[in-house]
Amino acid sequence: MKLVMLGAPGAGKGTQANMIAEKYGIPHISTGDIFRANIKEGTDLGKEAKSYMDKGELVPDELTVRLLLDRVSKDDCKDGYVLDGFPRTIPQAEVLEKELEKNGDRIDKAVNVDVPDENIVNRMSGRRACLKCGATYHIVHIPPRKEGICDNCGSELVQRDDDKEETVKNRLKVYHEQTAPLIEFYSSRNVLETVDGTKPSEDVFANICSILG
């Protein structure tokens, strides 16, 4: 079972990918993890990727796909895998599709965790974090006992830059321009499944499991 997770930033697709990986015994693969592992191990692909990253440039699609194919060729992927954060664009999806086809392979399902922008802005801009112990809260859904203070260690809670409303809206704009077209791409391949990501996490997961079987 080879899966691609789709959804806007903050939709919860990473959480679902982790739960899928655990239930079905397949690895949860993110390109960030692949880059870090290859750079740490000093592989040829890692050195190539690092040369772009050191200059602040994006790693080219072809190289990213080569790194990805190297990762999915490992023994732990023989029963499948969950891709999270890749592909991000139509060109990346096309390169991935072409390279998988060379091995007689294909993506089985693309799971789109659908959450309206308004929900995501409220969800992410309400987050608060303790920089000292790492605990996270939400001003509506998981508030601390004392406003602005961490329950665990008593430190002040902060709103991370990534969670500020303007930043969230910018990330959503980029998502709609670059990544949302993948929904139509995978729909045209008859592998798209969409779930309602506004429901509680366990309900979203149950819905995904009913689709995957």
Convert the pLDDT of each residue in 20-76 to its tens digit.
Answer: 999 999 999 988 889 889 999 999 999 999 998 888 888 888 899 889 989 999 999
Q: How far apart are CA 44 and CA 50, in angstroms?
A: 10
Q: How far apart are CA 59 and CA 54, in angstroms?
A: 10
pLDDT band at 122 (very low <50, low <70, confident <90, very high): very high
Q: Is the peptide bond before 60 cis (omega within 30 degrees of 0)?
A: no
Asked if residues 144 and 158 have their Cβ atoms less than 8 Å apart, the reply is no
- Tokens in use for 202? 């366990």
Residue percentage of the chain with pLDDT more than 70: 100
Active site amino acids: 13, 88, 127, 160, 171
Asked if residues 53 and 32 have their Cβ atoms less than 8 Å apart, the reply is no
Asked if residues 35 and 199 have their Cβ atoms less than 8 Å apart, the reply is no
DSSP state for residue 85 in the 8-state scheme = S
User: Would the pLDDT of 103 be above 90?
Assistant: no
Q: What residue ranges define each of the domains in the chain, with the CATH number in brackets?
A: 2-116+177-212 (3.40.50.300)
Residue percentage of the chain with pLDDT more than 90: 80
pTM for the whole structure: 0.85
DSSP state string for 117-134: HHHHHHHHHTEEEETTT-
Give the angle subtended at the CA of 9 by the CAs of 60 and 39, to the nearest 5°: 40
> What number of H helices and E strands is found in the chain?
9, 8
- Average pLDDT score, the chain: 93
pLDDT band at 119 (very low <50, low <70, confident <90, very high): very high
Hunting for tokens 């399902």 — which residue is that? 109
State the Rg of the chain over Cα.
19
Q: Which helix (H) or strand (E) holds 1?
A: none
Convert the pLDDT of each residue in 67-85 to its tens digit.
Answer: 998 999 999 999 999 999 8
